[in-house]
Amino acid sequence: MDQHKIDNLIVKLLESNITTEESAVLEDWLKDANNRIYFNEFVEINYLIKSKSQFDYTTSLEKFKVITKSNSQINFTKYLKYAAAVLIFISVGYFISQDIARVDKNVVEAHVEIGTNKATLTLEDGSEVVLEKGNGYASKTANSDGEKIIYNNTQNNSKETTSNIAYNYLTIPRGGEFYVQLSDSTKVWLNSETKIKFPVKFASGEIRKVELIYGEAYFDVSSSTKHNGASFKVITQAQEVEVLGTEFNIKAYKNENEIATTLIEGKVAVGINNKKEILNPTQQLNYNINDKTIKILTVNTDLETSWRKGYFSFTGKPLKEIMNVISRWYDIEIEFENKLIENQKFKGSLSRNQNIENILLTIKNTNNITYEIKSDKIIIK
């Protein structure tokens, strides 16, 4: 189920305006253990920001009983086993709004923009086209409304080979994201600071190849059964991922030592140094470029690919990694003045569609850190 829809249902529950039908959907979703973990973290991060005031359990419980009485058709108490936070969100709501109102003035004055849909398309002749809202583009092979680009879904039945097929590049800057649908109907979502190379059309009967030069991309691959059995391959700086038709995410940033390949559906073969590792759904392969080690983990794929649905998921992530992600999305430099807190862990999920001051405030209040804004730089102290 779409994570954004689930988040909306959780918010409706906490704000006491969820319907009986929506409550049933949420209850069914909560049957999964991983979903219950996400529920707890969402409530904690979005409703339980630390405050200096003492929590009055009795008063909050009475307020909660009033809500449940006024919404008697919905049994709110069944959710208490998933998050005791439901009982106290009312009492902390005031302090959340007060803290946000007291956001560091320097952050507001920095005018840091939220990331948006934008990219640069490089054509086969080397010319460049800026793709952004209000700036459309059309050619014989593709059309764009400035927020996504769709390549013509045409089968290449000629004897043309990959050696003489034209290639395009799509470069997503810091502070951007973009969506491209390739000529074989494969769907690709591209995260900030990402560059991909792909053919304007694929050669008939040959492996469909694209290259993730750097960055992060989520692939929903058109099945090989629709393309005469031709498999699909994604090449990165240190590995090849081959599939027949599936969904997966690859994170391969040029300033990071690890490449992470996460499988959502289907099956993929990850080739590294003449060795192949087969991944099953919910598995993630981490390859360390420096020491050449491989680790295969079982992960929550919704959390690992939350960026595609408009959320940051920082559960169990060190502060340095979190700040790298924030730096790319808001296109702002991050500096750690205190190196000792770089590995401090954070817990929770946050919307990418909010001002950076709200993000920083949440991290500050949950991790007891301080920060300072200087021009286009955030200094973590």
pLDDT in tens, the chain (381 residues): 666 678 778 777 765 567 778 877 887 887 776 777 677 666 655 554 333 333 343 443 444 444 444 444 445 445 544 444 443 333 333 333 344 444 444 444 456 888 999 999 999 999 999 999 888 899 999 999 999 999 998 655 445 555 678 999 999 999 999 999 999 999 999 999 999 999 999 988 889 999 999 999 999 999 998 998 899 999 999 999 999 889 999 999 998 999 999 999 999 999 998 899 999 999 999 999 999 999 999 999 988 999 998 888 887 889 999 999 999 999 999 999 988 889 988 877 788 888 888 888 888 877 778 888 777 788 998
Q: What whole-number distance in Å separates Cα of residue 182 and Cα of residue 163?
A: 18
Q: CB 161: neighbour CB atoms within 10 A?
A: 11
Topology classification of domain 116-304: Jelly Rolls (2.60.120)
116-304 against 310-380: fold identical: no
pTM above 0.75, yes or no: no
Domains of the chain, residue spans: 3-102, 116-304, 310-380
Q: What whole-number distance in Å separates Cα of residue 61 and Cα of residue 110?
A: 41
CATH architecture observed for domain 310-380: 3-Layer(bab) Sandwich (3.55)
Residues paired with residue 349 on neighbouring β-strands, in sequence order: 313
Q: What whole-number distance in Å separates Cα of residue 162 and Cα of residue 175?
A: 33
